[in-house]
Structure 1
Amino acid sequence: MTAHAFRQLHQHGLLRLTNAWDAGSARLMESLGAPAVATTSAGLAWSQGYADGDRLPIARVLDAVASIARVIRVPLSVDMEGGYSDDPAQVAQHVLRVAELGAVGINLEDGGGQPEALCAKIEAVKRACASAGLDVFVNARTDVYLRGLAPEDERVAMTLQRAQRYREAGADGLFAPGLKAREQIAAVVAGTPLPLNLLARVGLPLAEELQALGVRRLSAGADLAETMFGRTAALASGFLANGDSAPLAAEAMPYDRINALFDER
């Protein structure tokens, strides 16, 4: 699938992304009707045995992206955290490799850093992709809300200031995790032409209302991966404690149904 097709998914309605952490979860989500698949950087890192926070070696990222791209046919977007480097040129090379493997979108975040750093990375990515004849949807994530980088009454303004800078650098979308208040969501939507991406959180308006407010993308983030770990921990600890087999299969997807997901891939 092309970046154009992925871009079109941000133009109308609300794109809902159930973020995957490996090839198996990505294929499962596609089979359930997901119009696109995005990765969760946290879940991907955990699935590879690493902590989240730019600690996953880029070689492992590329292996995971290759495995996911092999089994899905819908557009793939990869959460690349801060690009796994502070050097914009190196980040651009990482993005090129991910795009060559089949990804048509990426997330890049500013974290607790200054917006200048993310601008430089976005500009380098766009230049490198243009030179290589590749089109990649760059979703610029700002952590103004997630990290509380400004007082509550200044967060909309700071988010919009960063959105403008990221757009000028070449960003195609804006991701503002932690933004939940209706009035503030509406203000951000009105203040930038970039399609707004929000992160699923308790207290966030329901999807129908988000769409009416003008939000164009809603991500599950790491919640599905966290729930998977929590549910597995509960089942495994129970089995270790009493050896009872019954709970292990109580909510299991049938073996044949799982196996069939990969038969032709």
Structure 2
Amino acid sequence: MTAVETFRALHRDREPGDPLVLPGPWDAASARVFADAGFPALATPSAGVSASLGYPDGGGTPPGEMFAAVARIVRAVDIPVSADIEDGYRLPPAELVERLLEAGAVGCNLEDTDLATRQLKDPARHADWLAEVRAAAGDRLFLNARVDTFLRGVTDPRAAVDRARRYAAAGADCVYPLGAPPELLPELAAEIPVPLNAACAPDPAQVARLAELGATRVTFGPGLHHRAMAALTETATALRAG
């Protein structure tokens, strides 16, 4: 079984209340920590990787540096790694796919916010673009389509469901309604025909709650990186004070 086949299989036939939990490494060292802890796969956060490279999240990282960072993470572990590549950096679908494959990623997050304008993309055009990415990738990549309606202040869950269904029809393997209130997860899971990614702080109780509410997959965004930096800040402060 190839790495992408393994990754895709991890999303299938999961028991209710048993989501796939994917930590987000920001460099090779953190990736090894999570792999050694026994996680079956990883999903990089763009914010954490960008911070590790000295750039702001949200389009601030040059694509070449992001793909190089993903490649270093992939080389550091022997489990599948999916990559958050924001809105695709305006790369043509075929080039985007090839750069992901060259980095060794088994999948990617692709968001429907246009980072140049900070506005939601037109859902029909974005679905068409996702279909082009799927056509270029074939079955070589697992596509997680991020739905940013809640993040951009659109609170009607029907807007998220509409986008999610369009993206699933275009070939997305999973959808990720970032910022969706947890209490809406049962409704979203019932209406969306592919696995549902939900996010929370890196806290077992919060993971358990999302599991109960119907999440198929749980990620933490930059939460693990933030926690690591907080611990490092505390240590540095203590050393300086001493």
TM-score (norm 2): 0.88
Find out whether 1:71 has 2:72 as its counterpart: no
**Percentage of identical aligned residues:** 35
| Deviation of the 1:202 alpha carbon | 9.3
Structure 1's 212 and 35: CA in aligned 2 closer, same or farther, altered over 3 A? same
Q: Deviations over 1:196-226 (max 9, x none)?
A: 0001149997434433433100001101111
Amino acid at match of 2:11: H
Q: 1: distance between equivalents of 2:143 and 2:53? A: 24
Q: Is the 2:31–2:77 contact (alpha carbons within 8 Å) kept by the matching residues of 1?
A: yes
Aligned to 2:216: 216
Q: Deviations over 1:13-59 (max 9, x none)?
A: 30011111011111110000111011010010111111111221111
- C-alpha RMSD of matched pairs (Å): 2.1
The 5 Å alignment of 1:1-265 reads: 1-11=2-12, 12=14, 13-85=18-90, 89=92, 91-111=93-113, 112-114=119-121, 115-130=123-138, 135-148=140-153, 150=154, 152=155, 154=156, 156-182=157-183, 184-201=184-201, 206-240=206-240, 242=241, 244=242
Q: Is the 1:43–1:222 contact (alpha carbons within 8 Å) kept by the matching residues of 2?
A: yes
Q: 2: distance between equivalents of 1:204 and 1:180? A: 18
| Deviation of the 1:140 alpha carbon | 0.2
SS at match of 1:198: strand
SS at match of 1:167: helix
Q: 2: distance between equivalents of 1:75 and 1:157? A: 33
Which is higher, the Rg of structure 1 or of structure 2? Answer: 1
Amino acid at match of 1:42: A
Runs of 4+ residues over 6 Å off in structure 1: 202-205
* Number of corresponding residues: 231
TM-score (norm 1): 0.80
Structure 1's 61 and 171: CA in aligned 2 closer, same or farther, altered over 3 A? same
Q: Deviations over 1:172-202 (max 9, x none)?
A: 10001212332x1111000011100001149
Structure 1's 14 and 239: CA in aligned 2 closer, same or farther, altered over 3 A? same
Q: Is the 1:181–1:204 contact (alpha carbons within 8 Å) kept by the matching residues of 2?
A: no
SS at match of 2:120: coil
| Deviation of the 1:92 alpha carbon | 3.8
Amino acid at match of 2:132: A
Aligned to 1:263: none
Q: Is the 2:165–2:193 contact (alpha carbons within 8 Å) kept by the matching residues of 1?
A: no
Deviates more, 1:161-170 or 1:223-232: 223-232
| Deviation of the 1:77 alpha carbon | 0.3
Q: 2: distance between equivalents of 1:203 and 1:231? A: 16
SS at match of 1:159: helix
Q: 1: distance between equivalents of 2:83 and 2:237? A: 33
Structure 1's 223 and 162: CA in aligned 2 closer, same or farther, altered over 3 A? same
| Deviation of the 1:121 alpha carbon | 2.9
Structure 1 runs not aligned, ≥5 long: 245-265
| Deviation of the 1:60 alpha carbon | 0.7
